[in-house]
Amino acid sequence: MDSESKKIVKWNPYSEGYFENPYKHLAECKKSSPVQIGLKNYYILFNHSDVRNVIKNPDFLTSDFSEFFKEKEPYIFKESNACPYLSKSTSKWLMYLDGEDHLKARELVEKGLSVFNYDELTNQAIDEILVELKALKVNNEIDLVDVAAKLPVIITNKMLGLSNHFDFYESKTLAHSLAYSQDLFLPRQVYLKINSDMELMFEFLSEKYESLLINPDESFFSIIIKLNNEFNYNFSKSELISVIMVLFLGSIETSKDTLSMIFLELLRDKSLLKTIQNNTQIENNILVEEFLRYSSPLQYTVRVSTLDYTIGDITIPANSKLLLCLASANRDEEVFDDAQNIVPNRKYNPHFAFGGGLHSCVGAKLARIELRAFIPKIASFLSRCDISIENAPVWQKTIMMRGLKSLNVVVKK
Amino acid sequence: MDKYSTEELTLWFKKQLAAELNVPSENVDLNATISSFGLDSLSNLTLVFSIEEYTNLSIDPTVFEEFNTFEEVIEWIQNQKK
């Protein structure tokens, strides 16, 4: 083997062009060394099989996010008058809970969500959006990220009972800020900004909680307060607020990012729009799964080993942090034929867009309903849009969740 | 981008590190190894963010792994500005 072929491509999300297109770098990392020790001593796994084995293995726990903040808050808030909201706001974020704590919180959420008619909520929201799009003037330049965000914002605020409190832009900004708190490599200055957004939301939800105790309504928040008492879950007020916050961010941010990245792919290859318009609903459902694989916002998930774990000739010691690269696994050529391209009728599609194992996304059903209903209905509008030449798409500079900051288009006749 | 002299950057780094470590700035030796400062990853990132704000440079948060001392970081910053 010559020295060139031995050279390892080290994982670096700050490598040139990563935020615009991480997949080239990830494929190079995977090819060069599919298990790597990277920044902050994370073990990073790139192969689909390795990711699958870990994500489905109950010996691996999630990292305790709230505990991380608890430990770091004295540092983050030194010389600051702000009150710490980071740890308490994240105390019941499902994706960072394990064991009984996780099961209990997940059960409460699933019970609370089960009363909602997702199809009805989605179709009402889509009708509202299509009316707005119809009223747009020709040659208008609009940001499709806003169109993408509108669907989950309307649905989420209606379900959680927040429609009259946070307007569209507030909701979009807050959801992004909460989601961003989970990103890797954030400095204190950013945490302070996120903390002020968490404070705003937490304090509002705190007042809302008190009013719902006196005047219950049909909202998810009101329902889980009732379930909490009826079934003796014993979650505190602060913990229930944390549950609402995680659903708010999960529901809005991930659907916004997924939809806006799908819009981008449809505008890059408009033949896909024709395919969608000619497809049956079942064929479009298959295409939606392919978009989820190809354009998933969820790029990584973290697990912590409880035992020594061996992959090939590498032994990962107990208590190590693993960064499972879902983005790389979703484009693994050993699992997906023609993995770097969109294959509209892909049959075998074991992607990780919603994570996997015990912690698979609790909102996956709603997300699928949104995508399956919205994409065929917006296809005709998208066929009248061209990506703005003056204002090219801008990517978020985020690692854990990929997404577009803006996707400006010009609307034609 | 504004141009800073070595002296200005040295003073600025000493002030930042003194605040991070809760020590007088005259006790900060920029020629000591970066690892000897015992900064955890959050402190490192916070310092990188402050450097970005101060110098207007876009900096890879892993920059300190490339250098042994903060004097080398200062030299690197000055080369970026040329």
Question: Least CB-CB distance to A189: which of B41, B46, B62?
Answer: B46
What are the pLDDT digits (tens) for A122-176? 999 999 999 999 999 888 899 999 999 999 999 999 999 998 899 999 999 999 9
Are the Cβ atoms of B62 and A39 closer than 8 angstroms? yes
Distance from C-alpha of A91 to C-alpha of A242, rounded to nearest angstrom: 6
Considering only alpha carbons, which residue of chain B is nearest residue A71?
B42
Interface of B with A (CB under 8 A): 41-43, 45-50, 53, 60-62
Q: Is A17 on the interface with B (CB under 8 A)?
A: no
Task: Give the per-residue pLDDT at A208.
Answer: 97
Q: Which residues contact A246 (CB under 8 A, 6 or more apart)?
A: A90, A92, A93, A94, A95, A178
Distance from C-alpha of A115 to C-alpha of A222, rounded to nearest angstrom: 12
pLDDT band for position B73 (50/70/90)?
A: very high
Are the Cβ atoms of B46 and A14 closer than 8 angstroms? no
Considering only alpha carbons, which residue of chain A is nearest residue B44?
A187
- In angstroms, the separation between the Cα of residue B38 and the nearest Cα of chain A is 14
- Tokens 């209990």 belong to which residue? A104
Are the Cβ atoms of A14 and B61 closer than 8 angstroms? yes
DSSP states along chain B: -----HHHHHHHHHHHHHHHHTS-GGG--TTSBGGGG---HHHHHHHHHHHHHHH-----TTGGGG-SBHHHHHHHHHHHT-
Are the Cβ atoms of B45 and A187 closer than 8 angstroms? yes
Question: Least CB-CB distance to A189: which of B43, B49, B61?
Answer: B49
Mean pLDDT score across all residues of chain B: 89
Distance from C-alpha of A215 to C-alpha of A111, rounded to nearest angstrom: 21
Contact A375, A284 (CB under 8 A): yes
Query: In terms of C-beta density within 10 A (0-12 exposed, 13-18 middle, 19 or more buried), how is residue A252 classed?
Result: buried
Question: Least CB-CB distance to A187: which of B48, B60, B62?
Answer: B48
What are the pLDDT digits (tens) for A184-194? 989 999 999 99
Quick one: tokens of B81? 């500005």
Are the Cβ atoms of A188 and B48 closer than 8 angstroms? no
Contacts of B47 in chain A (CB under 8 A): 187
Are the Cβ atoms of A187 and B60 closer than 8 angstroms? no
Task: Give the per-residue pLDDT at A41.
Answer: 86
Contacts of B16 in chain A (CB under 8 A): none
Residue B1: pLDDT over 50:
no
Q: Which residues contact A88 (CB under 8 A, 6 or more apart)?
A: A66, A202, A238, A242
pLDDT band for position B62 (50/70/90)?
A: confident
What pTM value is reported for the model?
Answer: 0.93
Phi, psi of A46 (to 5 degrees): -110, -25
Question: For chain A, which ranges sit under pLDDT 50?
Answer: 1-5
Number of A–B residue contacts, CB under 8 Å: 31
pLDDT band for position B61 (50/70/90)?
A: confident
Mean pLDDT score across all residues of chain A: 96
Count of all residues that appear for chain B in the document:
82
| CA-CA-CA-CA torsion sign (B30, B33, B36, B38) | positive
Distance from C-alpha of B60 to C-alpha of B43, rounded to nearest angstrom: 15
Considering only alpha carbons, which residue of chain B is nearest residue A11?
B62
Contacts of B48 in chain A (CB under 8 A): 187
Task: Give the per-residue pLDDT at B2.
Answer: 57
Q: Is A397 on the interface with B (CB under 8 A)?
A: no
Task: Give the per-residue pLDDT at A398.
Answer: 96
Quick one: tokens of A119? 């199809």
Residues β-bridged to residue A386: A410
Task: Give the per-residue pLDDT at A6.
Answer: 60
Average pLDDT over residues B44-49: 91
Hey, how many other C-beta atoms are within 10 angstroms of the C-beta on A292? 23
Task: Give the per-residue pLDDT at B81.
Answer: 60
Distance from C-alpha of A167 to C-alpha of B59, rounded to nearest angstrom: 35
Task: Give the per-residue pLDDT at B30.
Answer: 97
Considering only alpha carbons, which residue of chain A is nearest residue B22?
A78
Quick one: tokens of A243? 């549950």
